[in-house]
Amino acid sequence: MNLNRQIVQMTAEEFKNKIIPFSRKLYPMLFRILKDEEETRDALQDLMVKLWNKRGDLEKCSNQTAYIITVAKNYSFDLLKKKRPVRISEKEKYKILNLEADGVQHEIKEKYEHVHKTINKLPEKYRTIIQLRDIDGFSFDEIKEMTGFEITYLRVILSRARLKVKQEVEKIYDYDKTREITQQIL
């Protein structure tokens, strides 16, 4: 009976060694979606409990990495749907006030927001790959496992996504510079 249990369900030790290490990789993705440090930590804990409860399915799964990331992404989107009005912590208020007080940092913040808005406007495939690689820091091998795309294809998608982001951001800043010059002339 005990032998069958080990075959059917993952033990606590196996879970600790195989699944818990994913939390480091999941944190940036969850944080990007939830945009709140405390909520991300809570979601990560809840997710680990959820994965523990689904360890039977997890053990049968041929691609555990993709399964875990899919469960994590779906769970974080579910949380967003239920999300209450946005809470701003004291730490975040301090950061916002400091960013607004310093003109240089405000400009950096603005550029950062332009890049993120541009990434969010990309087609799904481009957006997913650039977020997994450049924002979440996954390796090409890990992204290949998650998406099923070949690494050479991933590199092409990533290159095209980066190019689109660059072109869109340059359009914004070229427009601003042109407008600025026009205002100086007139």
- Judge whether 127 and 18 are in contact, CB under 8 Å: no
* Weakly modelled stretches of the chain, pLDDT under 50: 1-7, 84-88, 100, 182, 185-186
Please check whether residues 141 and 164 belong to one and the same domain.
yes
What pLDDT is stored for residue 89 in this prediction?
53
Please check whether residues 103 and 130 belong to one and the same domain.
yes
What pLDDT is stored for residue 155 in this prediction?
93
- Judge whether 130 and 22 are in contact, CB under 8 Å: no
124 is a domain residue: yes
What is the CATH classification number for the domain harbouring 72?
Answer: 1.10.1740.10
pLDDT digits (tens, 9 = 90+) for 122-163: 998 998 888 888 877 778 888 887 778 899 999 999 999 999
What is the CATH classification number for the domain harbouring 167?
Answer: 1.10.10.10
Please check whether residues 10 and 60 belong to one and the same domain.
yes
What pLDDT is stored for residue 161 in this prediction?
92
The CA distance from 8 to 160, in Å, is 44
Q: What's the pTM?
A: 0.52
What pLDDT is stored for residue 156 in this prediction?
94
Q: Give the domain range for residue 143.
A: 97-185
What pLDDT is stored for residue 10 in this prediction?
74
- Judge whether 122 and 161 are in contact, CB under 8 Å: yes
Give how far the C-alpha of residue 101 lies from the chain's centroid of Cα atoms, to the nearest Å: 29
* CA distances (Å), origin 46, targets 36, 49, 64, 122, 185: 15, 5, 18, 30, 59
87 is a domain residue: no
- Judge whether 47 and 72 are in contact, CB under 8 Å: yes
The CA distance from 57 to 61, in Å, is 6
What pLDDT is stored for residue 4 in this prediction?
40
What pLDDT is stored for residue 3 in this prediction?
38
What pLDDT is stored for residue 115 in this prediction?
82
What pLDDT is stored for residue 158 in this prediction?
93
